[in-house]
Amino acid sequence: MTITAIGSGKGGTGKTLIAVSLAHAFAHLGERVLLCDADFGLANAGVHLGLAETGDLKAVIDGTKPLGAATVHVGSGRTGFDLLAAPSGSGALANLNTDSVEKLCTALEHASQYDRVLIDLGAGIDANVMTIAARADEVLLVVTPDPASLTDAYAFAKLMLRRTTSRLPQVLVNMAMNATEGRRVAEALAGSAQAFLRATPESAGAIPFDPRVSDAVRRQSSLLTLFPQSPAAIAIEAVARKLHGHAAPLAAAGLR
């Protein structure tokens, strides 16, 4: 089982859309997938999917329900996956303490019924976010061409390296206008990390700017279900294949 955390130094990077889409993509590859929305203050994976019921994350943390009884199943067939979240917009877990976060990490680490656990982290670099990131097997750091996003992503990478002493997140560029911009953004972050941290984050790829993404969000449905041939959907599937062990050519990833 692999735990993949998805974070961003700031909000507005499209992190949750990517997390939801990757859950569908990994399921399509045959993996048994759990998506945990760990944005404790503003959980919204359920909103992206148009769900009234999103599972009972609080019960798992409190120890009143086992993980298997606290999830809801999303979709069906080859793209179905399980979701674990707090009620959307409730703020019920906004002030979660360190012990509770550690309990959640332990529960997810023992979720052997899944091949992959995806964790949608809260935006930013607070202590709870970085605790979960440090305990994950791999971390995708979503960054956009916005200079503020790059600055905050560097801070995330710096704190993760400090906590783990040897690990950096993989950089996933979102909303790139073309392949050249995707490479430029990834290389800019890698250059800063190499210069100041003496370590270089790996690139996980790039996802193009795609108006179909906004359409999917407005319609509260999965991008990969509504628009499977859209450039962003194709790119996200390529990222999933790469992490799953089957890298896709750049041309197939929706960027030119």
Select from 14, 11, 93 the least CA-distant residue to 48. Answer: 14
Q: What is the arithmetic mean of pLDDT over 13-24?
A: 95
Polymer length in residues for the chain: 256
**Tell me, what's the pLDDT at 137?**
95
Residues 244, 242: Cα–Cα separation, whole Å: 5
Residues 6, 118: Cα–Cα separation, whole Å: 7
Which of 10-14, 98-102, 144-148 has the largest mean confidence?
A: 144-148
pLDDT band at residue 102 using 50, 70 and 90 as cut-offs: very high
Helix ranges (H only) for 110-166 are 127-135, 147-164
Q: Is the pLDDT of residue 249 over 50?
A: no
- Per-residue model confidence as pLDDT tens digits over 20-53: 999 999 999 999 999 999 988 777 888 888 888 8
Which residues fall within 8 angstroms of residue 249, CB to CB, at 6 or more apart?
Answer: none
Select from 44, 45, 43 the least CA-distant residue to 33. Answer: 45
**Tell me, what's the pLDDT at 46?**
87
**Can you spell out the DSSP letters for 128-140?**
HHHHHHHHSSEEE
pLDDT band at residue 248 using 50, 70 and 90 as cut-offs: very low
Q: What is the arithmetic mean of pLDDT over 93-98?
A: 80
Q: Which tops the pLDDT comparison, 76 or 166?
A: 166
Q: Which helix (H) or strand (E) holds 115?
A: none
DSSP-derived secondary structure letter, 252: G
Domain spans of the chain, in order of start = 2-244
pLDDT band at residue 92 using 50, 70 and 90 as cut-offs: low
SS3 50: coil
> Tokens representing 17?
């859309």
Q: What is the arithmetic mean of pLDDT over 143-166?
A: 95
SS3 200: coil
Q: Is the pLDDT of residue 251 over 70?
A: no
Q: Is the pLDDT of residue 93 over 80?
A: no
Cα–Cα separations (whole angstroms), residue 37 to 177, 215, 238, 239, 247: 28, 22, 22, 20, 26
What is the pTM for the complete model shown? 0.92
Fold of domain 2-244:
Rossmann fold (3.40.50)
- Per the DSSP assignment, residues forming a β-bridge with 4 are 118, 138
SS3 83: strand
Sign of the CA dihedral running 215, 221, 224, 225: negative
Tally Cβ neighbours within 10 Å of residue 88.
18
Residues 54, 73: Cα–Cα separation, whole Å: 9
**Tell me, what's the pLDDT at 91?**
62
